[in-house]
Amino acid sequence: MKKIVLTGGGTAGHVTPNIALIPALKKEGYEIHYIGTYDGMERSMIESLGINYIGISSGKLRRYKSVKNLTDPLRVLKGFGESLKILKRLKPDVVFSKGGFVTVPVVFAAKTCKIPTIIHESDMSPGLANKLCIPKADYVLANFPEALEKLPKNKGILSGTPIREELFEGDREKGLRFCGFSGDKPVLLVVGGSLGASAVNEAVRNILPKLTERFDVVHLCGKGKAKEEYKDVKGYVQFEYVSEEMKDIFKITDIALSRAGANAICELLALRIPNVLIPLSAKASRGDQILNADSFKKQGFSEVLYEEDITEEGLLDIILRTYENRQEYIDNMKNSPQKDAINIIMELIKKLTKSD
Ligand SMILES: CC(=O)N[C@H]1[C@@H](OP(=O)(O)OP(=O)(O)OC[C@H]2O[C@@H](n3ccc(=O)[nH]c3=O)[C@H](O)[C@@H]2O)O[C@H](CO)[C@@H](O)[C@@H]1O
């Protein structure tokens, strides 16, 4: 039987593209296994789909100083040993890696076992985990043309990003019911990335009375970031993280205020939702969200507000302006050429599959 191992984790952005591939893999008759960390957020996301999940030990790859930098290499080594054992037992035809630090031992073990490996990079430049994995991979898929330029010529393929099909099948009534909204006001979705974003959360909560005059506001605020004092604010609802309800929330969204994670913005584009992006600052990252956001603004899909420039009036103004001009953004998004990522990736997976 055809077999594939998927891997990726740490944040939802390293898991949802894998999830997007699962229906197509099932349709083609693949037996699917997933390797993630023992206790990362990928575990429940994958187990809830009934996919065989195997946890391994993993260490974070940090660019900054921490005492854990001394113990984490040992965990990565342990993860490598565990991955070797798992791959030797499962003997998959292909390993597909979506990035995140857990994937490093898996991809290295796949190379040792001579199992063909594909990795996918969502951002403009490869993350640290993917950087380490590129020499071991057979193919590297890119979401952005800009990333392709930085990849070895014989390995890089422009695929775009796989988006979960279910996101296109949201139900308005269910979305309104879930949020407790009447449907009379336009809906503003605030989403701070899969882990939440304190800067975005605070800025929005500071102008809530003004926002709720115009919009019903649904706020995906990140784990541990819901605040009791906002529980009863009329026209405002907060969720720390939503899973299957995401599609219904997108369905009722008239405008989004979002971090500029690669998957989030590709979903907004595919669903043609006008948006204002607040990219994660270069101080807290390698700056890819800024590049993502600038590129989307240049193409007329988004407005951008940099974290350092947030003021109460400025934030309200850019949200209102973008909402007033929403049709312009929707038209630009409709005219954007989009890659059929799921099919491109499936063709490559099938090419690398030997057994049947
Ligand atoms: C802090 C950080 O390192 N961020 C990175 C991370 O972002 P992050 O993990 O936030 O990823 P994205 O914004 O790309 O994707 C978030 C995903 O989670 C889903 N979602 C979100 C909230 C929720 O309640 N429910 C839900 O299902 C979204 O629909 C989307 O599919 O990976 C991205 C892709 O490599 C990068 O571009 C980001 O820079």
Q: With cut-offs at 50, 70 and 90, classify the pLDDT of residue 347.
A: very high
pLDDT interval class at 62 (50, 70, 90): low
Contact 269, 144 (CB under 8 A): no
241 ligand 1 Cβ < 6 A: yes
Q: What is the DSSP letter of 11?
A: S
Is the C-beta atom of 129 inside 6 A of ligand 1? no
Give nearest CA residue, ligand 1 atom 28. 264
Q: What is the b/e burial string over 59-78, where b = at least 16 CB atoms within 10 angstroms of the residue's CB?
A: bbbeeeeeeeeeebeebbee
pLDDT tens per residue across span 311-337: 999 999 999 999 999 999 999 999 998
Query: Is the model's pLDDT at 119 over the cut of 80?
Result: yes
- Residue numbering of the annotated binding site for UDP-N-acetyl-alpha-D-glucosamine: 11-13, 164, 194, 289
Rounded distance between C-alpha atoms, residue 78 and residue 80, angstroms: 5
**pLDDT at residue 339, rounded to an integer:** 84
Model pLDDT, residue 284 = 83
User: According to the model, what pLDDT value does residue 232 have?
Assistant: 92
| pLDDT score recorded for residue 194 | 75
Q: What percent of the chain has pLDDT over 70?
A: 97
3-state secondary structure of 139: strand
CATH topology of domain 166-334: Rossmann fold (3.40.50)
Strand, coil or helix: 37: strand
The finding on whether 194 has its CB within 6 A of some atom of ligand 1 is: yes
CA 1 / ligand 1 centre spacing (Å): 33
Count of C-beta atoms within a 10 Å radius of residue 176: 19
Per CATH, the number for 3-160+339-352 is 3.40.50.2000
Q: CB–CB of 141/112 below 8 Å?
A: no
Looking from the CA of residue 242, the nearest atom of ligand 1 is 24
* Model pLDDT, residue 338: 82
191 lines ligand 1 (CB under 6 A): yes
Q: Is the pLDDT of residue 67 over 70?
A: no
Q: What is the pLDDT of residue 89?
A: 98
Q: What is the mean pLDDT of the chain?
A: 94
Find the mean pLDDT for residues 31-51.
Answer: 96
3-state SS string for 53-95: EEEECCCCCCCCCCCHHHHHHHHHHHHHHHHHHHHHHHCCCEE
Of ligand 1's atoms, which has the minimum distance to the CA of residue 260?
13
Is 16 a pocket residue for ligand 1 (Cβ < 6 Å)?
yes
ipTM above 0.95, yes or no: yes
Q: Is the CB of 55 under 6 A from ligand 1?
A: no
Q: Is 261 in the pocket of ligand 1 (CB under 6 A)?
A: yes
Instruction: Indicate if ligand 1 lies below 6 Å from the C-beta of 159.
Output: no
Nearest Cα neighbor of 137 from 95, 90, 102 is 95
Confidence class of residue 355 from pLDDT cuts 50, 70 and 90? confident
Per-residue pLDDT reduced to its tens digit, 69-103:
767 788 899 999 999 999 999 999 999 999 999 99
pLDDT of res. 320: 98
Q: Is 169 exposed, middle or buried (0-12, 13-18, 19+ CB in 10 A)?
A: exposed
Q: What is the pLDDT of residue 195?
A: 79
Task: Quote the pLDDT of residue 282.
Answer: 85
Binding site membership of 7 for ligand 1 (Cβ less than 6 Å): no
How far apart are alpha carbons 298 and 301 in whole angstroms? Answer: 8
DSSP-assigned beta bridge partners for residue 118: 96, 139
Is the torsion defined by CA of 210, 213, 214, 220 positive or negative?
positive
- Condensed to tens digits (0 to 9), the pLDDT of residues 235-281 reads 999 999 999 999 999 999 999 999 999 999 999 999 999 999 999 98
Mean pLDDT of 128-132: 93
Best probe residue, ligand 1, of 62, 133, 141, 263 (max atoms within 8 Å of C-beta): 263
279 touches ligand 1 (CB under 6 Å):
no
* Domain pair 3-160+339-352 / 166-334, same fold: yes
Q: Which is the closest atom of ligand 1 to the Cα of 121? A: 35
pLDDT tens string 170-201: 999 999 999 999 999 999 999 987 777 899 99
Helix locations, the chain, DSSP H: 16-27, 42-47, 68-90, 103-112, 128-133, 145-148, 172-179, 198-206, 208-214, 246-252, 262-270, 288-298, 312-324, 326-334, 341-352
Which residue's CA is the closest to the ligand 1 atom numbered 8?
13
Mean pLDDT of 18-24: 98
Does the Cβ of 220 fall within 6 Å of ligand 1?
yes
Ligand 1 centroid – CA 179 distance (Å): 21
Choosing from 98, 194, 220, 294 the residue with most ligand 1 atoms within 8 A of its CB, the one to mutate for a pocket test is: 194
Instruction: Please state the domain extents for the chain.
Output: 3-160+339-352, 166-334
